[in-house]
Amino acid sequence: MLAMAMEKFAAVRAYIFDLDGTLIDSKIDIVNSVNAMLVDLGREQLPMDLVASYVGHGAPRLVASALGPETSQDETEKALRIFLGHYEERKLDCTRAYPGAVEGLAALAGAGQPMAVLTNKPTKISEEILKGLDLSKYFRAIYGGDSFETKKPDAAGAQVILGELGVEAAEAAMVGDSDVDIQTARNAGMLAVAVKYGFGKHDATTVTADLYIDSIAELALLKSNLPS
């Protein structure tokens, strides 16, 4: 299976990256912002790992999950505004690029591999975080959960990006930390690459990626070591 995956990987010449849990460790800032929102609403704070488990489907679903199913739509919309206000202020307090991310992106860019970001996080905040961490320079495009009518794992956003990068689906890989990202790759016909770290939900026994990597630097190393 690995040999087949590496054969497919040899054809890859462009990459679409997830953001949270893949390129950046944003867990603390997201959880702190959710809990600040809950305090403002007079609710109890939630455990870090529980809040982190809600990440991956976009801010509206994150907030709805934190509030619970009994919450009205009006309350949820109010809470979302509060959360986004807190997160705007806290988004770079503790958030950092994962080890190997900068080195890997630089190596892929140096090899002429076009890259983009597709996240379910709001676009503006995503762009600000990537700029603040000096990572935005590596990407041809940065798209968020509010960029298209549908979010990941729907393939629509990935298909737009593939067109912008000028590659076919078989020539691209989706790199992420969750089942959402792997399913996005499957839906778009791309190679699915999963990082072994991160905080997204991923059950390798039910949703299997083509390749598993320890860091983005490893991804670049694998690419550079392929036979020419």
pTM of this structure: 0.94
Per-residue pLDDT reduced to its tens digit, 70-100? 999 999 999 999 999 999 999 999 999 999 9
Catalytic residue status for 20: no
Of the residues 18, 20, 177, 179, only one is catalytic, namely 18
In this predicted structure, what is the pLDDT of residue 77? 97
Instruction: Please spell the DSSP secondary structure of 163-217, one letter per residue.
Output: HHHT--GGGEEEEESSHHHHHHHHHHTPEEEEESSSSS---TTTS--SEEES-HH
Contact (CB, 8 A) for 11 and 170: yes
Looking at residue 228, its pLDDT comes to 62
Q: Give the DSSP H/E element, type plus range, for residue 222.
A: helix 216-224
